[in-house]
């Protein structure tokens, strides 16, 4: 089958990247966010954690509109580690119902996704 003049061949599809996620949470104090980050990194449950500046959150809680100053935390990890990351957050979090959501990384620089997997895989000896 001949290709139309002036058209380039279709780009080859990259293999599907390994399954990685971005877990988002908020912590009421910076010290707590840093302690959580260090715990997750030491346990190889995350490859990278970004701790943001304080944000003002407004939300419904028990029939009222509440506000709180919170520290956003973004955790890059493998999808298969979600349950352990969630458990670590819940174990440290002072809220009765903390924000813990996972966003699938549907695409990304393949080398970066590989790095997330490498850093969250315990070394074998």
Q: Residue 80 belongs to a domain with what CATH number?
A: 3.30.70.120
How large a percentage of the chain has pLDDT more than 90? 82
Q: What does the alpha-carbon distance between residue 80 and residue 68 come to, in Å, rounded to a whole number?
A: 31
Three-state secondary structure call for residue 7: coil
Q: Is 88 part of a structural domain of the chain? A: yes
Query: Is the Cβ–Cβ distance between 82 and 102 less than 8 Å?
Result: yes
Residue 7 has pLDDT above 80, yes or no: no
Residue 15 belongs to a domain: no
Mean pLDDT over residues 38-55, rounded?
Answer: 98
Structure confidence by residue, pLDDT tens digits, 71-113: 999 999 999 999 999 999 999 999 999 999 999 999 999 999 9
Report the predicted TM-score, pTM, of the whole model to 2 decimal places.
Answer: 0.84
- Residue 113, in any domain of the structure: yes
CB atoms within 10 A of CB 96: 7
Element (H, E) at 38: helix 30-42
Residue 50 counted as domain residue: yes
Q: How many domains does the chain have?
A: 1
How many beta carbons lie within 10 A of that of residue 72, not counting itself?
17
């Amino acid at each position: 089958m001949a290709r139309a003049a002036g058209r380039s061949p279709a780009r080859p599809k990259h293999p599907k990247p390994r399954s990685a996620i971005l877990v988002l949470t908020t912590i009421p104090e910076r010290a707590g966010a840093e302690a959580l980050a260090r715990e997750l990194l030491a346990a190889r449950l995350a490859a990278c954690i970004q701790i943001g500046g304080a944000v003002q959150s407004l939300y419904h809680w028990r029939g009222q509109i509440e506000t709180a100053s919170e520290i956003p935390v973004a955790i890059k990890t493998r999808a298969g580690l979600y349950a352990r990351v969630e458990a670590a957050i819940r174990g440290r979090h002072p809220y009765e119902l903390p924000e813990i959501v996972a966003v699938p990384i549907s695409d990304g620089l393949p080398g970066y996704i590989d790095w997330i997997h490498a850093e969250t895989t315990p070394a074998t000896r």
